[in-house]
Structure 1
Amino acid sequence: MGFERELDHPFDNGAAYHRQPVDGYAVMWRYVGVMSRHRALFASVFAVAFLGGTGVVFSLKRSFVSTATVVVTAPVDDPFSQTAQGGKTLEDDELATQAELIQSRDVAELVLKQIPPSEGGHKGGLRAALCSHGLKFACPAPAPSEQQGQLEHDARIDGLLTTITVEPQPHSRVIALSAKADTADAAASIANAFISSYQQVSLTQQRGDLARDAEWLDERTSALRRRWVEAEKAASDFNAQHGLTNLDGDSPLVGHEIATMAASLNQAQARYAAAQARMEVLNEVKANGDPRSIIALGDQPLLVASANALMQAEAARAQKIGSFGPNHPDVVGLTGQVAAAKASLAAETRQALGSVNAELVASRAEVAQLTRSLDALRGSYTGQGAAQAEYRTLRQDADSAKSVYEAFLDRAKEFADRAALLRPPVAFVSHAAVPAAPTFPNRKKLELGVIVLGLISASAAVALRAMLSSGFTDIEELRRFGGLRLLAVLPKTRGLARASGKLSVGQSYSPIGDAARGLLTQLSLMRASGDADDRIVAVTSPTSGDGKSTLVSWLAATVQAGGQDVLVIGDAAGRSTVGHGLWDVASGRATADEAIERDATTGVDVLWGGDLSAFDPSGVDKLRAVLRGLSSRYRMIVIDAPSLMVNPDGLVLASIADQALFVCRWNDTSRRDAALCIERLRHYGVRVSGLVLNAAEGRAAGVSPDGQAPRASVGLLQHFR
């Protein structure tokens, strides 16, 4: 932690370090540079994400949605029912109930019968051929058992119901049904089939209820007919058994009177029962305002007319509400008509109640009077013979059974006529249309999302690659690293020319030549500004392959091209052709002239470091004295020091130099190694003039280093004198 804190401050080398302000434009170009350096990774990740996303988008199963709308209808007027439903408003939960009934399993099962599943593959073809050759996986699945078939059928119903959405519309009688399917035609067919099937199921249920009622009436009518026939037969048999004369013509006067009075009593009882029935109907109408029960009161024409007017107004209002909604002006007007009709019906009902009540009282009195009179006649007729009295009783039972039978027979005929009035509880407002485009997937939007996802993924991959990189890939980061100046940025080169120095010698103003001359210019300006003698320059780096030897050759070739003498002290690992090295000269085993050799290509003098494995620390002064002596003969001595992480001799050679250049390779030199080497150089008192970035790529190769002067003449190198 202490080492890291020390690197946050400039070295105590007297050099001013100026941190350039970073604006938004520079930050933008910084990130653009990162993207440019990793453009291959960016393009690869984007291509993979785009192609994969596009494949997923086009592999998504398309679905179409079609919507049908229906309106919940009011119950139809039933003139034969004493408890008719016409004119009633819908209950609060009626829409929800109808919506649940529409998506019931019974309706779904009927829809499945109308729209069967698609057939499997053809019996022939490749699968059949493979199956015939013994490949069982290609053979069709065996027929499912009855239990499995039922489970599969239930699963198909559940799957069909999941594709249906039924939504009651608020403040209306409208219900919207949406169906989702793989094809547009199937979606419209399923939506319409659900409504039609529900209508069919509802009508079937109503017909079934009506059939059960009619069946009960038929059974009851048949039983009453048998009773009537049995009563007639009993009376006829009794008459024949006792030899009674025809009572219609030859009966005694008292017997005839009894028969007449009994008939009158029956009629009075009938009128009394009818008056009671009308009273009950009127009381029911008065209690719940249902006008349909009044239709049966044929003897009250005004009341029936008022009831018909009310039902017609309510039916018209229900139709308008279903078509235009409850707030339409026609609906408001019809609502007023309904209110007026209800008021008229209530007035007529009260008047009819008074009339029927008077009739009921009169009928009750008449029945009581006729009963007393009939009892008196029967008492007087007792003496005329018990047989004839018994016969008359049997005759009365037969007539009563006949009248009841005829009443039930009329009711059964009414049920037969009622079947024509049945209608489904919902009616189509609009049928489902075939959708022109799939609802899912929206490929345009998904493709835009894939592009955005690809850009984000590619940017994230580049950012992750940059964060995980151990080398320097950012010029701004290198400027701030260790408090050292960035003296030069050398572009990446290819070929043998980088080792021979031809790039800087043969091309006066090539990028490499410009960078080398700029570096030498900065070194000369440092001396001109009052710094110590800078003739002896050590070039070092953390590891081998960072480009320090290439930089040494470029610097030497550039100085040589300026007409000045330069000496290169090669790496200690090099092998001299004359058999002597720097340590040999320092130890007195050879003279400098004997150890120095001239490079035939560039004309630069070279003194190899030699074997320093037996180096004595006390010999540092000897090495420094040798270099001082050589500095009087050469304008510049460039030491190719060994890599600091590989050979500790690099620290020795850097410590005896006037200044040192620290070389980092673009995207290769580890930050950790660079920091550790800079700390070692500081510990040994080495004056590090600055950093040199080698093999820079892309826009980084054109970035100006800190404090670099414009292109200068090689003549400026005379400052090294």
Structure 2
Amino acid sequence: MSWTALDVGLVIRQTMRAFLRHRMLFALTALGVLVAGGAVMLTLKPRYTATTTVVVSGRAQQDPLAPNGQQQNLAPPDDELVSTEAAMIHSRDVAAAVLAQLPPPPVPPHVGMRDRLCHMGLGFLCHASTPVDPEVQREHEEDAFLNNLTITPEPRTQILDINVVDGNPQRAAALANAVVTNYQRIALARQTADINHVATWLDNRTAALRQRWLDAVEKANAFDNANGLTNTTEGSTSTPLIERQIADTSANLSQAEGRLAAAQARADALRDAAARGDARAAVALSQEPILVATANALMQLQSTRQEEAATYGPQHPRLRALDQQIAATRASLEAETQAALSTIREDQISARAEVQRLNENLELLRQKAGGQSAPQAEYRTLDQEAQSARAVYETFLEHAKEVVDRAALLQPPIAVVSHASAPDMPSFPNRKKIGLGLMAVALAAGAGAVLLRDYFAAGFTEIERLRAAVPLPLLAVVPKVGGRSEQTVRRHVIDHPYSRATEAVRSLVMQLSMRVHEGGQPLCLAITSAGPEEGKSTLALWMATVARRGGQKVLVIDADHRRGMLDQYLTDGTTGRPSLGMSDLVTTGVPVADVIRTDPDTGFDYIPAGRTMQHAFSPVEIRRLRAILAELKRSYELVIIDCPPLLGLSDALVHANMADQVIFVCRWKSTAQRAVMACLERLEACGAPLAGVVATMVEDNAMDVMGYSYGNRDIKILSRFDDK
């Protein structure tokens, strides 16, 4: 079903009217919730929250066996590590350490009425003493502390907020700081234990590896001695001497051959330079100082001659002296060159002899090594095993030293950013928030009470619901009239002729006059309801008053012989209940004129109820009643029968069947919907001519439009015209 704007507006208006109808219930419910909630809030003990902020450093993930260089390149701690640290802080070990440092204060015993009576001497009321297990009590204290401890990681950071709740602000701050210090101590102890465990394992492993290395060396030496191998000892291992000698001889041979080749090359270059007379080459190739000085002197003289020739000409006498000096120097250079060549030849002879000797030694060593090849190969394998065992032993020994050194540099996995201080204001109860929440709950409880009261109401609370439920026209909606006495209510249409209630009654009389008897015929109208106290008698009197003031001759019949109250209403209750009435007309056949009375205030006539009948209507009495009504209709224009209620009684069905029109009165919020429908079904079953339904005692907020009412100024103006 689709909702329109009109439907939504109707629901809103109905809800607002429900709140107006039950405003006292709403106020009392909300006030009760506020009072109860305020009382509970006053009984709550204040709780203080102290916070210590720490940062996770990430050192807890270091590997004790990793080298120092790798320890410094660890990645920053991630969210999983932060969560792990938070879980480790929120552990029983930390709780036990904190409570051991700061024990909980003793709780004063609760002394109730039973305890007081026990102290007065009534021993049978004393509580049986039960021993308390210290272990169980300690676990309870740890559980209580962990419930008051919360670890909150800040998003996208490595920061943790450690919150501790306690009834004492100073103790809360001390507990928060104690959590950090004790966890740091426990974490350091755990890391130290891990490193000590690793160091112990490394010591054991290092000792085993050292023994393995020594055993390998001993085995290699024993093999060397058993096979008569010639080896040299370096440190703790033996190296084959023959191979070392071969290597040394080969190196010396290479050096000797190099010296021989260098001397041969220098001699050839020096001969070539001497043949060409190149003094510069002689300087570069020779290592003899005299030869170098002679070559330099020759180059200087040649340079001087070139300058003199360029200056004085080629025939100058000074040039002849320079030529003589150059010739003498050249001869000296040739002599020094020959001396240098002689020296080089001596070096060649020596180098060649050394090369030959080394070749002979090398050949002898190779022949000797050939005889030791098989045992030496096995010895080499044993030696390699010893070297491998030594390398592993030295590696583990180095790690063991690093682990021992690292134990002195351990740091806790968390560092304090800010210590907790004693809070000034309690974190619980937050009276402002609880007050706002309590007000919201109170308003919701009041609204819920109103809606439930309206939903489970037995009677009709909305005009629209009445129209939808009853398949009859709604003739009038009579508002509720306030009055201190029944006489004040009865005289309302006289004292307030322009009120809403009077206008509703006037409209009802007019509708019946137009719809039923357009030709001016008399009208017999029966008014009934489901139960008593629904306003049908008051409605009958009001209709009679309005019709009489309109000039009609009206008769009101009180047909409720069980509890007829019409005579008391009209006589102010001073004359008592009359002895003759409508029941006497039906049962005994007394004359009608003997039971008719006249109301002096309004001028209409009425017939009291009469004596109580103790039997149902007989056929004779029904025919007599029909004849009486026909006779009365000949004397009055409007005959109104105030019938008894329909629930549990059948008298009203007889009167309703004989009336020209029947009005069913439904009291607002009082008459149950099922009762209304059941009564209407009974009236339809007996053939009663139902004209419609009249809602009585309706509140002003029951519908959107109750009708028009005049103000005080309008009533004064209309009263002047009435007086005239």
Query: 1:131/1:68 Cα in 2 relative to 1: closer, same or farther (>3 Å)?
Result: farther
- Aligned partners of 1:214 and 1:642: how far apart in 2? 108
Q: Secondary structure at the match of 1:517?
A: helix
CA contact (8 A) 1:534 1:658 kept: no
Q: Measure the CA separation in 2 of the matches of 1:103 and 1:608.
A: 89
Q: Which moved more, 1:454-463 or 1:499-508?
A: 499-508
- Whole-angstrom distance in 2 between the partners of 1:632 and 1:459: 57
Which stretch shows the higher mean deviation, 596-605 or 85-94?
85-94
Q: Aligned-pair distance for 1:170?
A: 8.5
The 1:129/1:558 distance shift into structure 2, 3 A limit, reads closer
Structure-2 separation of matches of 1:682 and 1:596: 31
Opposite residue 493 of structure 1, the aligned amino acid is G
Name the SS for the 1:554 alignment partner.
helix
Aligned to 1:335: none
Moved more, 127-136 or 677-686: 127-136
1:629-682 CA distances to partner (integer Å, 9 max, x unpaired)? 333332321111222224322122222222121112222222222212212222
**In 1, Cα distance between equivalents of 2:584 and 2:117:** 86
| Preserved CA contact (<8 Å) 1:72 1:95 | no
Aligned residue for 2:559, secondary structure, equals coil
Name the CA distance, whole Å, in 1 between partners of 2:691 and 2:237. Answer: 132
Give the letter for the 1:505 counterpart: I
How high is the TM-score relative to the length of structure 1?
0.57
Q: Is the 8 A contact 1:179 1:191 kept in 2?
A: yes
Match of 2:177 among 192, 195, 204: 192
Q: 1:425 aligns with which of 397, 409, 412?
A: 412
Q: Does 1:566 align with 2:567?
A: no
Code of the aligned partner of 1:27: V
Distance 1:445 1:667 in 2: 39
Seq. identity, %: 33
SS of residue paired to 2:483: coil
Partner of 2:242: none
Which residue, 115, 132, 135 being the options, matches 2:102? 115
User: Which of 47, 60, 64 is the aligned partner of 2:31?
Assistant: 47
Q: Does the 8 A contact of 1:167 with 1:176 survive in 2?
A: yes
1:682 match: secondary structure: helix
- Which amino acid is 2:555 matched to? L
Superposed counterparts of 1:477-496, under 5 Å: 477-490=465-478, 491-496=480-485
Aligned residue pair count: 509
**2:504 equivalent in structure 1:** 515
**TM-score, length basis structure 2:** 0.57
Residue equivalent to 1:454: 442
Tell me by how many angstroms 1:623 deviates. Answer: 3.5
Q: What is the CA-CA distance between 1:76 and the residue it aligns to?
A: 13
Partners of 2:35 and 2:689 lie apart in 1 by: 55
Whether contact under 8 Å (2:52, 2:162) holds in the other structure is: yes
* Aligned equivalents of 1:122, 1:463: Cα separation in 2: 47
Deviations 1:229-269 (A, max 9, x none): xxxxxxxxxxxxxxxxxxxxxxxxxxxxxxxxxxxx99844
Q: CA deviation at 1:179?
A: 2.6
Structure 2 gap segments, 5+ residues each: 204-231, 240-397, 568-576, 709-713, 720-724
Q: CA deviation at 1:419?
A: 9.1
Question: Are 1:77 and 1:84, in contact at CA under 8 Å, matched by a contact in 2?
Answer: no
Alpha-carbon distance change, 75 to 449 in structure 1, aligned in 2, over 3 angstroms: closer
The 3 A distance-change label for structure 1 pair 114 and 419 is farther
Once the two structures are superposed, residues 12-59 of structure 1 have per-residue CA deviations (whole angstroms, 9 ceiling, x without a partner) of xxxxxxxxx965444323222222222222222222333334444553
Q: 209-218 or 513-522: which moved more?
A: 209-218
1:118 is displaced (CA, Å) by 2.2
Trace 1:72-151 onto structure 2 (pairs within 5 A). Answer: 72=57, 74=59, 86-87=71-72, 89=74, 101-121=88-108, 148-151=133-136
Residue 604 of structure 2 is matched in structure 1 by 604
* 1:69–1:175 Cα contact (<8 Å) kept: yes
For 1:312-351, what aligned pairs fall within 5 Å after superposition? Answer: none
Tell me if structure 1 keeps the 8 A contact 2:475–2:508.
yes
Q: Give the secondary-structure state (helix, strand or coil) at the position aligned to 2:13.
A: helix
2:659 aligned counterpart, secondary structure: coil
Task: Look up the match of 1:665.
Answer: 667
**Amino acid aligned to 1:521:** M
8 Å CA contact 1:65, 1:187 repeated in 2: yes
Match of 2:641 in 1: 639
Can you list the C-alpha shifts for 1:577-615, whole angstroms capped at 9, x where unaligned? 885545765789443323323235544322245567464
Question: Do 1:74 and 1:88's aligned partners in 2 also have CA atoms closer than 8 Å?
Answer: no
Secondary structure class of the residue paired with 1:179: strand
Aligned twin of 1:653 = 655
> What is the match of residue 293 of structure 1?
none
Q: 1:521 to 1:425 in 2, by over 3 A?
A: same
Q: Residue 143 and residue 422 in structure 1: after superposition, are their counterparts in 2 closer, same or farther (change >3 A)?
A: farther
Note if contact 1:665-1:693 (Cα within 8 Å) is conserved in structure 2.
yes
The RMSD of aligned alpha carbons is 5.3
Q: How do residues 527-542 of structure 1 correspond to structure 2 at under 5 angstroms? A: 527=516, 530=518, 533=521, 535-542=523-530
Distance 1:35 1:599 in 2: 42
Describe the SS at the equivalent of 1:669: coil
How far did residue 487 of structure 1 move? 2.1
Shift of 1:478: 1.9
Whether the 8 Å CA contact 1:501–1:557 is kept in 2: the answer is no
User: In 2 relative to 1, CA 98–664 (structure 1 residues): closer, same or farther, beyond 3 Å?
Assistant: closer
Aligned to 2:255: none
Match of 1:156 in 2: 141
CA distances 1:44-80 after superposition (whole Å, capped 9, x unpaired): 22223333344445537635252422232549999xx
- Does the C-alpha gap of structure 1 residues 52 and 534 become closer, same or farther in structure 2, counting only changes over 3 Å? farther
Q: CA deviation at 1:430?
A: 0.7
Secondary structure in 2 matching 1:483? coil
Offset from partner CA, 1:377-411 (integer Å, 9 cap, x none): xxxxxxxxxxxxxxxxxxxxxxxxxxxxxxxxxx9
Whole-Å Cα distance in 1 between the matches of residues 676 and 62 of structure 2?
98
How do 1:118-517 and structure 2 match up within 5 A?
118-121=105-108, 148-166=133-151, 174=158, 176-182=160-166, 183-204=168-189, 268-269=235-236, 421-434=408-421, 442-490=430-478, 491-498=480-487, 501-517=490-506
CA distance in 1, matches of 2:457, 2:169: 53
Look up the match of 1:594. Answer: 594
Q: Give the CA deviation at 1:566.
A: 1.6
In the alignment, which residue of structure 2 is the partner of 1:250? none
Q: How has the CA–CA distance of structure 1 residues 543 and 95 changed in structure 2, closer, same or farther, with 3 Å as cutoff?
A: closer
Letter in structure 2 aligned against 1:453: V
Range moving further from structure 2, 598-607 or 586-595: 586-595
The residue correspondences of 1:29-68 to structure 2 (distance < 5 A) are: 29-57=13-41, 59=44, 62=47, 64=49, 66-68=51-53
CA distance in 2, matches of 1:578, 1:214: 121
SS, match of residue 487 in structure 1 = strand
In structure 2, the CA distance between the partners of 1:43 and 1:77, relative to structure 1 (3 Å rule), is: closer
Task: For 1:643, give the aligned amino acid.
Answer: P
Tell me the distance in 1 between the aligned counterparts of 2:469 and 2:61. 91
Equivalent residue letter for 1:151: V
Q: Deviations over 1:349-392 (max 9, x none)?
A: xxxxxxxxxxxxxxxxxxxxxxxxxxxxxxxxxxxxxxxxxxxx
Distance 2:199 2:602 in 1: 124
**Are the equivalent residues in 2 in contact too, given 1:644–1:650 (CA < 8 A)?**
yes
User: Is 1:689 equivalent to 2:691 in the alignment?
Assistant: yes
Change (3 A) 1:438 1:511: same
Conserved 8 A contact 1:68-1:192? no
Conserved? CA contact 1:548–1:640, under 8 Å: yes
Contact residue 555 and residue 607 of structure 2 kept, 8 A: yes
**Higher Cα radius of gyration:** 2
Cα offsets for 1:435-482 (capped at 9, x unmatched): 665555554444443333333332222222223222222222222332
Task: Please say if residues 527 and 664 of structure 2, whose CA atoms lie closer than 8 Å, have aligned partners that are also in contact.
Answer: yes
